[in-house]
A = this chain, B = another copy of it.
């Protein structure tokens, strides 16, 4: 039995999220279905670095699985890709120690969030970038981003459904760049709570539109109250970009 770590990419628009579900089409479900076919109906559990919601994309999600098959490690991407549907791609595979775990061993993640602000929606972007048709004050946004940096209790920026014990997380980097008619935000941290990036984004966009002041961000953080933050921005703009390990 060997353990393999794979970096995968997927277009989230055709999935009801990452995590397997009895009826709906999910990324984990399709991965396990492909592995079952490759292993002659033997069930192979796939562990991901974390879930992504319906409509959320991944450019560099990490998974691991154990296999008794004698497939050379560099052949695994091809073997999987010829079996997987074409909205999931295995980009690389690596033989890892038996104690590697895609979720438990992750020490950080990078997410990106794409926004476009043209007055009209773009039919070609509807699944891939968030439409926010307002003039944005980029200086105010820049200022708001700074307040999120560092270690905070992010209770105000996670879904009320979140059940984890500690809501303290550290953000190492938050920035944005302009790519043609889109703004691309980058979030790097040691971990992210449920909906955290999307709620931060919803709040940042309200700052950009002038509905909140950048100076309100530290107060919202302090209050630990989800109701004070902005709306949860749509899943279509969100990409799990990279997962970091020691």
User: Which residues of chain B come closer than 8 Å to A120, judged between CB atoms?
Assistant: 77, 81, 89, 91
Distance in angstroms from A88 CB to nearest chain B CB is 6
Is A87 part of the binding interface, using a Cβ–Cβ cutoff of 8 Å? yes
Query: Is the beta-carbon distance between B122 and A89 smaller than 8 angstroms?
Result: yes
Point out the residue from B11, B91, B122, B123 that lies within 8 Å of A126, measured CB to CB: B11
Contact pattern, A 99-141, Cβ under 8 Å of B = 1, otherwise 0? 0000000000000000000001111101010000000000000
Q: Is A57 an interface residue (CB 8 A)?
A: yes
> How many copies, total?
2
Chain A contact residues: helix, strand, loop or mixed: loop
Q: Give every chain B residue within 8 A of A123 (Cβ-Cβ).
A: 9-11, 86-89
Cβ of A136 to closest chain B Cβ, rounded Å: 22
Which residues on B sit within 8 Å (CB–CB) of A122?
A: 9, 89
Instruction: Select from chain B the residue with minimum beta-carbon distance to A86.
Output: B126
CA distance A91 to B119 in the complex (A): 11
Could you list 11 A-B pairs, sorted by A, with CB under 8 Å? Answer: A9-B122, A9-B123, A11-B123, A11-B124, A57-B124, A81-B121, A86-B121, A86-B123, A87-B123, A88-B123, A91-B120
